[in-house]
Structures are given as C-alpha cells and as structure tokens.
Amino acid sequence: MEDWALTEEDRPPPRWLYYTLVFAAVLAVVSMLLMAGAVVLLFLVPASWLP
C-alpha cells in the first residue's frame, strides 16, 4: 500500500511550515549568540573605555 495519505488529515504538513520552523529556530540561535556576545563584550571591555 504505497499511497498511505488517503484522507485529508493523514496528509503530511505543507512545506512552508517546515521552512517557517527552520527560520524561527535559526533566528532564535542567532539572537542568542548575539546576546551572549554582547554579555561577553561587557565583561571583556574595560570600564575605562566606556564614556
């Protein structure tokens, strides 16, 4: 039985759903890396450099 998606609810989710989830995951990882980099810079940069 090759055609297993016989009914509408058995059909796999559309492709844009996967792309949206991947985009959200990449955006979250990039934002976390940027926040971690900002925190590291706050600790590495001496206080005398700040205005």
Q: What is the pLDDT of residue 4?
A: 62
- Reading the block at residue 12, the tokens are 């796999």
Question: For the chain, how long is the longest CA-to-CA vector?
Answer: 72
Instruction: Identify the sign of the CA torsion 24, 26, 27, 28.
Output: positive
DSSP string, 3-50: ----SSTTSPPPHHHHHHHHHHHHHHHHHHHHHHHHHHHHHHS-GGG-
Per-residue pLDDT of 9-45, as tens digits, reads 777 778 889 999 999 999 999 999 999 999 998 888 8
pLDDT at residue 50 in the model = 62
Q: What's the pTM?
A: 0.57
